[in-house]
Amino acid sequence: MPAYNVEEHISDTLDSILNQSFQNFEVIIINDGSTDSTQKIIDKYSAQYSNIKSIIQENQGVAIARNNALGLAEGEYIGFLDPDGDLFAENSFYHINETIEYHESKGEIPDLVIGQQTTVDTWSKRSYKNAKELSFSADILPHDERIIWTMLILNKMFRREKILETGVKMPILTHASDAGFFFSFLYSCKKIVGCPHDFLIYKKRLFLEDSSLSQDSNLNSINSYFKSYEIILKAFNSYCIRYRNELKKIILTRNYMNLIEKL
């Protein structure tokens, strides 16, 4: 969990984690140079809960914060959450663990688990159709195009051993580093499964509410999106080369170009 000046929201986010019925987890918070009372709130929770790890770093951005957290993680699976209003749904950890144990009992080890996502903003609340559809699948292919429309890392659990095996990290970009990380990981997965329960409650800020609005039109952000796109396309092409025999029906048809276009 990267945290930067989130004093108004971090307590709600932490409560959504700490109130889970499944309690065998750790929370790693990287305070990315906050200048408000964020760290005081973190210290209060850390004093009460022994499974919270708190690290303070100079402001270096969300990508470096997440990478530093990945280096400290000890759990079998890793999830991400932003403490700016995002929440894990009630009992979501229990359902994720239940899903993982079910597949392990069949001799399968999921590299990636995809849960359902509800998005809320000032005016509305809606469920992500693609995430919901995928959550009911016991065998998801990395090139399933529905994943493109639910590429957020927050409604997923990543097997830590697979992260270490692939060496994938958040690319150091100001924007879309999570997309570069996700697709690089996705196209290395051998087993992807869904968890058919509510997992993430995602707070979407409207255009005028976005504190990063002034940054979103500058050249640096455009370059970041382009570099992330290059990382994603490279990962997809490497995936196609590795599994070209299995993917012949896709690569040799119009479906391949359609998928590239959507990607």
Which domains can be identified in the chain, with CATH numbers? 1-86 (3.90.550.10), 89-263 (no CATH)
Q: What is the pLDDT of residue 246?
A: 72
How far is the C-alpha of 152 from the C-alpha of 247, rounded, in Å?
A: 25
Long-range Cβ contacts of 162-170 (<8 Å, 24+ apart): 162/111, 162/112, 162/188, 162/189, 163/70, 163/78, 169/67, 169/70, 170/62, 170/63, 170/64, 170/66, 170/67, 170/70
Which residue numbers in the chain have pLDDT < 50? 212-215
Rounded to 5 degrees, what are φ and ψ at 224? -65, -45
How far is the C-alpha of 14 from the C-alpha of 31, rounded, in Å?
A: 14
Given a contact cutoff of 8 angstroms between Cβ atoms, the answer to whether 67 and 28 are in contact is no
> Residue 42, Cα to own-chain centre: how many angstroms?
22
Q: What is the pLDDT of residue 213?
A: 44
Give the tokens for residue 99: 């899903």
Q: Which residues are CB-contacts of 44 (< 8 A; sequence separation ≥ 6)?
A: none
How far is the C-alpha of 51 from the C-alpha of 55, rounded, in Å?
A: 13
Torsional class of 173: left (φ above 0), alpha (ψ -120 to 50), beta (otherwise) = beta
- Alpha-carbon dihedral sign for residues 155, 160, 162, 165: positive
User: What is the pTM (predicted TM-score) of this model?
Assistant: 0.92
pLDDT in tens, 56-92: 999 999 999 999 999 999 999 999 999 998 999 999 9
Given a contact cutoff of 8 angstroms between Cβ atoms, the answer to whether 160 and 71 are in contact is no
- Sheet of strand 27-32: strand arrangement: 2-3, 27-32, 52-57
How far is the C-alpha of 260 from the C-alpha of 194, rounded, in Å?
A: 24
Q: What is the pLDDT of residue 209?
A: 52
What's the DSSP call for residue 210? -
How many degrees, rounded to 5, is the angle at CA 48 between CA 44 and CA 49? 115
